[in-house]
Amino acid sequence: MATPSKDNILTVNELKKSFGGVHAVDGVSFEVPRGSITGLIGPNGAGKSTVVNSLSGFHPVDSGQVTLDGTNVTNWPSHKIAQQGLIRTFQIARELQRLTVFENLLLAPQVQPGATALEAIFSRRKIAAWESKTLGRAVALLKRFNLFEMRDEYAGNLSGGQKKLLDLARALMAAPRLVLLDEPMAGVNPTLAGDLQAHIRDLNREQGITFLLIEHNLGIVEALCNRVIVMAEGRILAEGSMSALRENKDVVNAYLGG
């Protein structure tokens, strides 16, 4: 049993979710320690994506409890969970095509003057002040992710790898407490994957951002995560460091291969 504690930013307790007769997630419990990069791996169909969607409020769970930084957020709608500080990315990068790279970032902050219709009409000066302040932050992030030159390009025109970078940059712009990365390296060339890996490590070290990383590239998982959770068939199979998991027979049989 996982119990919510101050050192865990996320606690998942006995999570269950079925689709029809399929128990996609069948009683999953784990924690994500604050300030960690925790890995979540497992074969296709293990239930990782269902866990991600349940944690981020994209579909309701059948039973179980999700506690985010001391708050029970089980079955909250996705926007409320995001407002609570859990920001997710998507397996297939979902850029907002007809918004520029800059606009993708400006969208992310939770509190924005002018985000309601009345403010949009009546407080234009406040909006301009906020935007000029926020642009600085956006510029810093874009430079960090090598997207600065593309800032005024429509996000739909970026390459696949750049879209992945934008997805991460946009998540960070929301000032998250926990970032849920759903296969950030999928479809990304090795050089860019190395860059992404470095970005994640640096953000974790410099800014203390906690990551839950769902990933098939085990080399990157090993390099980044001190703790890795293995899922198979809707359950947690094992937990520990990557090197310990490589010695674990169940894990080898279910996922790593012999």
Residue span binding other proteins (CB under 8 A) among the ranges 62-70, 117-125, 187-195, 217-225 = 117-125
Binding range to other proteins, per CB under 8 A, among 16-24, 42-50, 82-90, 188-196: 82-90
Residue 134 CB, shortest distance to other proteins, in Å, is 10
Query: How far are the Cα atoms of 24, 91, 216 from residue 256, in angstroms, in the given order?
Result: 20, 21, 10
Q: Which helix (H) or strand (E) holds 223?
A: helix 218-224
Among 27, 43, 114, 187, binds other proteins (CB under 8 A): 114
Is residue 121 close enough to count as binding other proteins by CB under 8 A?
yes
Residue 227 has a CB neighbour count (10 Å cut-off) of 17
> Which residues from 148-207 bind other proteins, rule CB under 8 A?
151-152, 154, 170, 174
Q: Are 215 and 185 in contact (CB under 8 A)?
A: yes
Closest to other proteins by CB, 55 or 254: 55
Decide if residue 56 touches other proteins (CB under 8 A).
yes
Distance separating alpha carbons of residues 35 and 167, to the nearest angstrom? 21
Alpha-carbon Rg for the chain, nearest whole angstrom, is 19
User: Within 10 A of 247 (CB to CB), how many other CB atoms are there?
Assistant: 10
Q: State the minimum distance, in angstroms, from the CB of residue 112 to other proteins.
A: 5
Cα 171 to Cα 164: distance, rounded to the nearest angstrom: 11
Q: Does 49 bind other proteins (CB under 8 A)?
A: no
Q: Look at the block and give the residue holding tokens 């090795």.
A: 190
Residues in the site for other proteins, rule: CB under 8 A?
Answer: 56-58, 77-80, 82-83, 87-90, 94-100, 102-103, 106-108, 110, 112-117, 119-121, 124, 127-128, 130-133, 135-136, 139-140, 143, 151-152, 154, 170, 174
